[in-house]
Amino acid sequence: MSFSGPTNYRRESAKAIRDKPEVRDSVTAATRTFDAHRVHAWGQIDADRWRDWARDVKTHVLTHLDQYLEQAERQLTSNGTRVHWAESADDALTILGEIVREDGVESAVKAKSMLSEELGVNRHLEGLGVHVRETDLGEYIIQLLDEPPSHIVGPAIHRSVDDCRKLFHERLGTPLDADPDELADAARDALRAEFLAADLGISGGNFLAADSGTIALIENEGNIRLSTSLPRVHVAFVGIEKLVPRLEDVSAFLQLTSRAATGQPIGNFVSLIQGPRRSDEVDGPEEVHVVLVDNGRTRLLADEAAWEALRCVRCGACLNICPVYRQTGGHPYGWTYSGPIGAIIAPGMLGLEEALPLPHASSLCGACVDVCPVRIPIPELLVHWREKAVEQGLTPKVETVGLKAYTKMAQRPGLFSAAGAVLRHVPLGLGGRALPVLGGWMQERSAPKSSPKSFLQMWKEGIE
Amino acid sequence: MTARERILGRVREALRERDPVEHPGAFEGWRPRTPRSPVDGLVHLLDAAGGEVVHQPNLDAATSWLATFCGGFDSSAVGESVPAALRPPIPTASPDIAPLGVSVARGAVAETGSLIMDARDGRRAQLLVPTHVVFLRVEHVYATLREALLDMADDLPSAIGLHSGPSKSADIGQILVKGVHGPGRLVAVLIGGDE
Amino acid sequence: MVRLLRHLGIDVEVPEGQTCCGQPAYNSGQPEEAQSMAEHTLKVFADAEYVVLPSGSCAGMMRCFYPGLVGSDLRVASLVERTYELSQFLRTVLEVDSLGSGLQGRRVAYHHGCHALRELGVKDEPVALLAGCGAEVVPWEADEECCGFGGLFSAKLPEASAAMADRKIDTLPDVDFVTSADGGCLLQLTGRAQKRGTGTAFVHLASALWRGVAE
């Protein structure tokens, strides 16, 4: 299932809140749990020092990105990996199509990869007649439901156990009252057959070490290890921002990301892939391809402020703490990346007009600043995009002109007081809905009770 | 111009006005609040992650332990680097049907509680079996992941797997389930120590 | 707040030229308008020894954002150092421990507004002051979560904003009243609670502490 785009965020989020209170409950419970685990895991380490280091390494890479991309390509190639460069999603899919054709691929297994969602890999493969199966349990569930992922780390957090019981009963024949272990067994059996039969394994890449040409992948299930080991061809889609200078740096990023995402010292399975199987190895893919993907990342890199968002390690911590995200989960954002990180990269990668109103989908509470492992200044970047929207004339005139008028009044205290008096004495309950700002307020809240006198009036009259 | 040249060109253009930032240098691992010896650290984390840890003082003891352990299995898949003394005394089977897999870890990492699995041992026997027994010498336990990777840098196979616990998922309504899709039972056998 | 400060022996002035700190414009991406309001505010408070605000968000705007907005003006640096949110002023500058025992036996929930908490680092001060008046500040699962006001956010995305207020209200323990340092937060929570008819009492921190002054 594809994404509808961010433009309808308000309508979609309102609908989700009104019609699906169970999603709000599931997402709130899941994200609070994830965040509690992160807090515990960071409490065991000197998180501040680690986050400073991670921010600095990523900033270093980004300011030398061309050099590291070239080094990674050299290293990957000398490891026997085939390197491809894709400017757009279409280019990436064309490259994939060529590999499918060359290698006679009929079936594929997929490890969870947000980039592959962004590119629309599944739909494209199906169009080529290739059977595609998501193997991460959460991705498998939403594939069966034909829904997009709701969260970077837990794609199915918006779905309850009962939802899974019904789904597996229909599709795998498990009893309606099956417990989670029985559901898991059924999924394992179904997917095992797929792992063993697949010609192609597709993954993303959490990190790409330039000095050794290593693709690093983190997980808990083992499906990524299986998808990148059993089929004879492995294709890894890696965003150009995923580079890290040295394999030894990757050691720290693996741990920081795991602690931020799920509170673990490290994911239960980590794959460090150098290339295809060697002559002294008994198994492993015969071909490994890395597709280095731009798809709007260079556009984001060119933005004088928002380029910092490219430090993102996709841990999901900002989604887990965001009080706005928590009310709806990821679907209303209309794009692969939701929550705070989605709101700051969408304008760079999709273009500001298409990404609006996401930069406004925030009360600027700043909770995300406390949790980002690479210290992306998310609220600052949200305000940055709001400024750009005003500059480019994308913000409704009623707001920009309204604020200009308000500013003029605020520099003339007499006028400001007079306006306040009007507000205090107009019955907002009646007139409020008609006014642009007040309409939104009145929809969900009672009108504030007005004081008959302003504070300044009381001050002038004397306060005892 | 190729896609590669265009992408690199756009990167360079984007960076033209940007001040470069230097690499901050090595990060030598976090300072644990309760320091433990590498072996104790490894055991503590593997146990917390749901793995089982067994200590055997020497190879002979490990062989005996394995013979007993195999009593519950009718066949096993054996890794390429497993020495004769640690081959299970039961028929071998292909990894996709064997109920048990036996491997030797190249090393382990205390700070993350990880066993270092080398592709040369054979990946299938490490991943497809429901129960995975991994032998490891105590001298091969590194304190930090960074040290381990630096030490292995000149001798990397096609893939290294860091296995830090049994396979698990919380994707079904946030409830923990095991064994989907890697081994649901991980047994680490540490050989050596105070002999 | 005026009564409270006078009670503590402070000479209080309320410059009549004060209007708005400029935060709504800044947050909406209109920094020039915010700058105009900042310059006006600087003029109005230029002669103050201290500037005390019953608002975490305005104090946060002034302390954290004015320097960037109005440039390296020495006036800004000096004003910003003298600007405090009320509870911060009482604890840090006046070093108040106990104002009185007027809140003895009262169960109170404290809402930590985002600006006071994250921009100013104000967390223990209001709680200590309330407890110092005899109040029992009860644990509240969602006490540090955003109430959903966010200035214009509450009007632009009212559904999400209301859902955030509901999360706060639904997790409230049984208390005599809820208090906070920010008028905007209180406006939001009161408005939503009244619409839902929950009967919860909301009181600004300054009023709560004034009640606490009584013996």
Tell me the one-letter amino acid at A29: A
Contact A164 B163 (CB under 8 A): no
Q: How many Å lie between the alpha carbon of A396 and the closest alpha carbon of chain B?
A: 30
Here the ipTM equals 0.96
DSSP codes joined into one string, A132-171: EEE-SHHHHHHHHHT---SSSS-TTTTS-HHHHHHHHHHH
Please give the C-alpha separations between residue A205 and each of A209, A268, B164, C36, in angstroms, as whole numbers: 10, 16, 19, 47
Q: What is the pLDDT of residues A322-340, one digit of tens each?
A: 999 999 999 999 999 999 9
d(CA A258, CA A464): 58
Tell me the one-letter amino acid at A19: D
- Token pair, residue B21, equals 């930032």
Q: What is the pLDDT of residues C99-133, one digit of tens each?
A: 999 999 999 999 999 999 999 999 999 999 999 99
d(CA C132, CA C144): 21
Tell me the one-letter amino acid at A261: A
pLDDT for the residue numbered A435: 60
Q: What is the pLDDT of residues A168-190, one digit of tens each?
A: 999 999 999 999 999 999 999 99
Domain extents in chain A:
47-297, 397-461
d(CA B170, CA A153): 11
d(CA A203, CA A239): 12
Residues C9 and C72 in one domain: yes
Helix, strand, or coil (residue A133): strand
d(CA B43, CA C4): 59
Which chain C residues touch A453 with a CB distance below 8 Å? none
Contacts of B180 (CB under 8 A, 6+ apart): A137, A184, A185, A187, A188, A191, A221, A223, B167, B168, B169
Q: How many Å lie between the alpha carbon of B30 and the closest alpha carbon of chain A?
A: 6
d(CA C19, CA C202): 25
Contact C29 A388 (CB under 8 A): yes
Q: Which residue has the tokens 């030490």?
A: B151
- Does pLDDT of B23 surpass 70? yes
For C1, how many CA atoms within 13 A lie in the half-sphere containing its CB?
22
Q: Which of C156, C168, C189, C203 is best to mutate for the A interface (most A CBs within 10 A)?
A: C156
Q: Residues of chain A with pLDDT > 70: what percent?
A: 97
CB A125 within 8 A of CB A101: no
Q: What is the mean pLDDT of residues A79-86?
A: 98
Chain A residue with Cα closest to C196: A445
Please give the C-alpha separations between residue B100 and each of A128, A227, B134, in angstroms, as whole numbers: 38, 20, 11
Q: How many Å lie between the alpha carbon of A367 and the closest alpha carbon of chain C?
A: 8
CB B159 within 8 A of CB A229: yes
Quick one: which of B58, B32, B53, B33 has its CA closest to B43? B53
The Cβ of residue C157 has, within 10 Å, a number of other Cβ atoms equal to: 26
Q: What is the pLDDT of residues C55-76, one digit of tens each?
A: 999 999 999 999 988 877 788 8
Contact B45 A265 (CB under 8 A): yes
**Domain-embedded: residue C101:** no
Q: Quote the radius of gyration of chain A (alpha carbons, Å).
A: 25
Confidence of residue A228 (pLDDT cuts 50, 70, 90): very high
**Domain-embedded: residue C99:** no
pLDDT for the residue numbered A464: 74
Say whether the A–C interface has 3 or more Cβ pairs within 8 Å: yes
pLDDT for the residue numbered B195: 45
d(CA C85, CA B162): 51
pLDDT for the residue numbered B29: 65
Q: How many Å lie between the alpha carbon of B195 and the closest alpha carbon of chain A?
A: 31
pLDDT for the residue numbered A457: 79
d(CA B76, CA B99): 6
d(CA A214, CA A244): 10
d(CA A267, CA A83): 27
Q: What is the mean pLDDT of residues B81-86?
A: 96
Say whether the B–A interface has 3 or more Cβ pairs within 8 Å: yes
Q: How far is CA C28 from the centre of its chain?
A: 20
Residue C39's φ and ψ, nearest 5 degrees, are: -65, -40
Confidence of residue B32 (pLDDT cuts 50, 70, 90): low
Q: What is the domain extent for residue C41?
A: 2-92
pLDDT for the residue numbered A157: 83
- Does pLDDT of C93 surpass 70? yes
Q: How many CB pairs lie under 8 A apart between chains A and B?
A: 261
| Strand C202-204, strand A82-86: pairing | unpaired
Residues C87 and C116 in one domain: no
CB B177 within 8 A of CB B63: no
Q: What is the mean pLDDT of residues A12-22?
A: 95
Confidence of residue A444 (pLDDT cuts 50, 70, 90): confident
d(CA C84, CA C89): 5
Residue B134's φ and ψ, nearest 5 degrees, are: -125, 120
pTM (2 decimals)?
A: 0.94
Q: What is the mean pLDDT of residues B170-187?
A: 91
CATH of domain B36-152+159-191: 3.40.50.10420
Q: What is the pLDDT of residues C3-44, one digit of tens each?
A: 888 888 889 988 888 888 999 999 999 999 999 999 999 889
**Domain-embedded: residue C98:** no
Number of domains in chain C: 2
Binding partners of A (≥3 Cβ pairs within 8 A): B, C
- Does pLDDT of A449 surpass 80? no
d(CA A424, CA A254): 56
* Nearest CB partner across the interface for A282, out of B18, B122, B183: B122
pLDDT for the residue numbered A310: 98
- Token pair, residue A147, equals 């829904």
d(CA C117, CA C144): 8
Confidence of residue A153 (pLDDT cuts 50, 70, 90): confident
Q: Quote the radius of gyration of chain C (alpha carbons, Å).
A: 17
Ranges assigned E (strand) in chain B: 52-56, 76-78, 100-104, 107-109, 114-118, 131-137, 141-142, 159-163, 168-172, 175-178, 185-191
- Does pLDDT of A289 surpass 60? yes
- Does pLDDT of C1 surpass 90? no
pLDDT for the residue numbered A429: 60
d(CA A314, CA A310): 10
- Name the strands in the sheet holding C177-180, side by side, starting at the edge strand that comes first in the sequence: C136-137, C107-111, C177-180, C202-204
The Cβ of residue A81 has, within 10 Å, a number of other Cβ atoms equal to: 23
Which chain B residues touch A265 with a CB distance below 8 Å? 45, 111-113, 164
- Does pLDDT of B34 surpass 80? no
Q: What is the largest CA-CA distance in chain B?
A: 68
Query: Helix crossing, A21-43 with A9-19: angle to 10°?
Result: 100
Window 352-381 of A: residues touching C by CB (8 A cutoff) are 357, 360-367, 369-370
Chain B residue with Cα closest to A31: B174
Higher pLDDT, B29 or A166: A166
**Mean pLDDT taken over chain B:** 94
State the burial class of residue A260 (Cβ atoms within 10 Å of its Cβ: 0-12, 13-18, 19+): buried
CB A108 within 8 A of CB A133: yes
Confidence of residue A420 (pLDDT cuts 50, 70, 90): confident
Higher pLDDT, A153 or C199: C199
Contact B164 A251 (CB under 8 A): no
Q: Which of A165, A251, A273 is best to mutate for the B interface (most B CBs within 10 A)?
A: A251
pLDDT for the residue numbered A108: 98
Q: Which secondary-structure segment (H or E) carries C58?
A: helix C56-60
Contact A324 C164 (CB under 8 A): yes
Q: What is the mean pLDDT of residues A392-404?
A: 89
| Strand B114-118, strand B107-109: pairing | antiparallel
Which chain C residues touch A389 with a CB distance below 8 Å? 29
Contact C29 A406 (CB under 8 A): no
Helix, strand, or coil (residue C133): coil
d(CA A116, CA A293): 10
DSSP codes joined into one string, A373-415: TT---HHHHHHHHHHHHHHTT-S-HHHHHHHHHHHHHHT-HHH
- Token pair, residue A218, equals 């983190």
Give A47-297's CATH code, choosing from 3.30.420.10, 3.40.50.10420, 3.40.720.10, 3.40.50.1820.
3.40.50.10420
- Does pLDDT of A117 surpass 60? yes
CB A256 within 8 A of CB A51: yes
d(CA B190, CA B56): 6
Q: What is the pLDDT of residues B1-17, one digit of tens each?
A: 899 999 999 999 999 99
Quick one: which of A351, A336, A337 has its CA closest to A299? A351
Per 3-state DSSP, chain A is made up of helix, strand and coil in percentages (nearest 5) of 60, 10, 30
Contact B171 A136 (CB under 8 A): yes
Residues C85 and C112 in one domain: no
Last residue of a domain, one of C37, C62, C92: C92
d(CA A395, CA A397): 6
Residues C141 and C85 in one domain: no
Contact A56 B23 (CB under 8 A): yes
- Does pLDDT of A272 surpass 90? yes
Q: What is the pLDDT of residues C143-195, one digit of tens each?
A: 999 999 998 999 999 999 999 999 999 999 999 999 999 999 999 999 999 99
The Cβ of residue C94 has, within 10 Å, a number of other Cβ atoms equal to: 15
Please give the C-alpha separations between residue A11 and each of A17, A418, C35, C156, in angstroms, as whole numbers: 10, 36, 33, 12
- Does pLDDT of A428 surpass 70? no
d(CA A301, CA A308): 8
Window 1-40 of A: residues touching C by CB (8 A cutoff) are 10, 13-14, 17-18, 24, 28
Quick one: which of C207, C215, C147, C145 has its CA closest to C177? C207
d(CA A356, CA A395): 9
**Domain-embedded: residue C26:** yes
**Mean pLDDT taken over chain C:** 92
Residues C125 and C158 in one domain: yes
d(CA C114, CA C147): 9
